[in-house]
Structures are given as C-alpha cells and as structure tokens.
A and B are shown apart, each in its own frame.
Chain A
Amino acid sequence: MAAIGVIDYGMGNLHSLGKALERVSGAGRVVISYDPEELLKCDRLVLPGVGGVRECMKELQRLELNQLVVEAARSKPMLGICLGMQVMLEWSDENGGVPALGLFPGRVQRFPDPPEDAATRLKVPHMGWNRVRQERAHPIWTGVPDEAWFYFVHSYHAAPTQPEHVLGSAEYGYRFAAAIARDNIVAFQFHPEKSQNLGMMLLANFTHWSP
C-alpha cells in the first residue's frame, strides 16, 4: 500500500499535518517518523517544520535525515512546508547564517523590519491569510484558483536564484516566492494544513502526483 512519510525531526507540531494527510490520502498510509529506514520505505515524503533553521539543520544531521532527504529528493515526490521549504535552499540568513540542503539554488532572507515612522508598517512575522499567484502551471495547482488565499506564518522567505523554480508568489511589501518546484519536488511557504479546503486540495494533489 502506498505510504506518505512525514519526516519528524522534532521541529514543530505535526498533528494538523498528519490529520490533514490522513484525510486526503484515501487508502494511503501516513507514516510520521524519524527513522530513516521507515521513511525510505515510503513512496513520497513530506518535510515540514517550524522554528529556527540552525536547530532544524542540527536535528536533521543528528538523526541522519539530511542525506536521506537529499537522496530521496532525486526520485521520490517530495513536499516541503514552511521551514521545510526554507531548508531546501542553499543557505539561510537566519540564526546568523546557516548552510542548508541545497536542493534549490538561492538563499533565505528576512523580511525587513518596518521603519519606525512608516505610514503603513508591515509586521514581521508575516502572519495570516495572503493570496498566492500561480506563476506557472503545475499538477499541484489542479482545482485551485489563481490568487487563492493561504495561511502564512514566517519571518524569513526563500529567494531562489532560478526564476523557473518559482511556482507561486505572494505580495508582502514586495513579491516573494510562496511556492517553489523542480522535477519531483514541490514546496510551500504557507501551511496547506491550516488553509481550509484549498489547502486540503493541495495536499490531495500531492498524494496523487506522479512527476
């Protein structure tokens, strides 16, 4: 039976994500694990995460999951969410600068703090519902209207160097990459598991995706 592996490296709350995947996966099994052997048996993998990037990379290395992610990313459908998307870039400026997995060329940078005297101050973290513009066609968008609302919570955002990797964008002071993709990898800065019906649709599309 097909299985979706959720990589549990202790960063954040996987409860909503696990439940959401179970709901959309139909006959598929959802495995939440930090055991590389168990995860290797899964047909597709999800790399979630909230928190700081240094701790995230440290835990992935400690549990010997970083190599697994890099290798699985060559062949298996893989979904990154939030910090799980950010660590797919080469480098993050967070925590004083941390090298990351490098699945996408580019870096992760912070939204600038608003100037004290700004007329309209953009708060950091960027928290709440924002519209995602679909920058290019992709099976993951099936049934999802362009400029649909998704739930974001983050202070840093990915800046991929290859424009063709940007799958969707959102506007917060400026346009930033809200979704990236290449080959068999797709990743969202926002949280599909907290984005109501359309978020469920994205997760369902991922479970059926054959790149």
Chain B
Amino acid sequence: MLAKRIIPCLDIDRGRVVKGVKFQDVQDAGDPVEVARKYDMQGADELVFLDITASVDDRPTLFQTVEAVAREIYIPLTVGGGVRNCADVRALLSAGADKVSINTSAVDNPDFVSEAGERYGVQCIVVAIDAKRVSKKKEAPRWEVFTHGGRRPTGLDAIEWARTIVQKGAGELLVTSIDRDGTKGGYDNELLQAISAAVSVPVIASGGVGTLEHLYEGLTDGGADAVLAASIFHQGTYTVGQAKQYLADHGVLVRS
C-alpha cells in the first residue's frame, strides 16, 4: 500500500535556506544542498523549496540552487514561489525540479494550470491553496482562498476552488491554513478533510505543525496524503526519522 509522505519545506532566499515566520525575523539556516542532504538521509519522502524572494526576481540563483540539489538528491523535489507561466515551469523542470507549485497565478489565470498540465503532465503541477476560515461561530465552516502570501482575499470558496482547479489539471494540492500557519497549534483538519473529500488527487497538509501528534492528526483526522512541515525540522525539535517512527508506532504506514 501507498505510504503517507513526510515532506520538509525549505524556504530559500537568494540561494540560502532561511528560517523565520512569514518574512519576519529571517535567519540563515544553511546551504540548501547540505540541508537537503540531511533531510534525505533522515528519510524525507520529498522536499519542497519555497522561493520566498520570488518578487525580488533573483531567478538565476534559484535555478543554480535547484540544479545543485537535484544533482545530489534523488527524491522528488517541488519548487514554488512566483511561478507565473509555462516558461517558468519549463525553466524549473529543466533545472531539476520534479514538480512546481503554483499559487497566485492559478487564481489569476486558471487556464495556465490546464496549459502547464497538458504540456508537462499533471503529475508535476501542484496547486497551493492558502485558505482562511471566514465562517462565524455556529455557522457551517467556510474558507476563503487568499493569495500574495495570505494578504489578498480572492472571494473564492476554498472547497469550490479545489474542485475547479483539479478539473483544470492540478495533480496535487498543497493546502495551507493561514489561521494556523506559524502557530504550532496543529493543522486545520476540518479544512483538510473537506478538501480531501472534494477532490480525487492527493492533498498535502501545511501550516501549523508544532508536535508529532499534529502530523498524525493531519493524516488521520484531516485525511491528508502527505504532511509538510518546516520549523519542527529546521529547529531540530524532531528529525524526519523520529516523525516517521512516531507515525509508524501509531499505525500510519510510512516508508521505512
């Protein structure tokens, strides 16, 4: 049977791994190749690179970073941040990314997702959905999609949007709860469950992990196929191996 995936997420800024909460208090956390190699050895199932300076337009450095990591690491690598058109997708794939993650541009132009999926295969098109709970207490839960790092509301219902973009050709969804991101209070499992039930493609949970139990809850209560986490691994709170051991001990199938 298919194993649940553990995916460390690395924020990349001008060729370095950085850690910090939402662009605040950003600190250098090392060389991407070294960090990627460390997680690979710990048993990470995939890696995600998020180019947090996409707007600064330092693409050549990002490509060099992706190339350097792809030369050394033989597990799937997803790269996101400022992916705007098919030329961006192509450039990242030729630099060695296995998948690209599209966020704002999918909202601005859903046909871009169809075009990229047709041209490069839907398996390499991840659409990132940043969602914020907008329902009031006692109402049925509702989430709205936000773009631009969670700053700009789109008016789109997150569940409807998930359905639409999968029809357009997203091969996988990376679902981040804006409410939980950086809180270490756990994923928004209701959101994950609702999206996972609405689409047939795999869902990656993101935003809010503070403990190993949170990973477990995302995969069980949230029904996610994979869990993404940054700070618990970067800060050395847990290794990927410890996370897998915990999940295996609690009956979740993981790659050993």
Contacts and interface: CB of A to CB of B under 8 A. Distances in A.
Interface of A: 11-13, 15-16, 19-20, 50-52, 113-114, 121-131, 149, 151-154, 171-172, 193-197, 199-200
Interface of B: 1-5, 40, 45, 70-71, 74-76, 93-98, 118, 120-124, 171-172, 197, 200-202, 225-226, 255-256
7 contacts: A127-B172, A128-B2, A128-B202, A129-B45, A152-B2, A171-B1, A199-B74
B70 A151 contact: no
A152 B98 CA distance: 12
Given A51-B121, A196-B75, A128 B70 contact: no
A51 B45 CA distance: 22
Contact of B3 (A12, A125, A128, A196): A128
Contact of A123 (B120, B121, B201): B201
Consensus secondary structure, chain A interface: mixed
Contacts of A20: 74
A129 B5 contact: yes
A30 to B, nearest CB: 14
Given A128-B202, A193-B74, A13 B225 contact: no
Contact of B122 (A15, A16, A114, A125): A125
A151 B121 contact: no
A125 B171 contact: yes
A129 B255 contact: yes
A124 B200 contact: yes
Contact of A151 (B76, B122, B201, B202): B76
Contacts of A113: 200
A16 B70 contact: yes
Most buried by A among B74, B96, B202: B74
Contact of A124 (B5, B95, B201): B201
Given A125-B202, A194-B98, 10 more contacts: A12-B120, A12-B121, A13-B120, A16-B74, A122-B2, A123-B200, A123-B225, A128-B202, A129-B2, A149-B255
B228 to A, nearest CB: 13
A125 B123 contact: yes
Contacts of B94: 13, 15
A13 B120 CA distance: 8
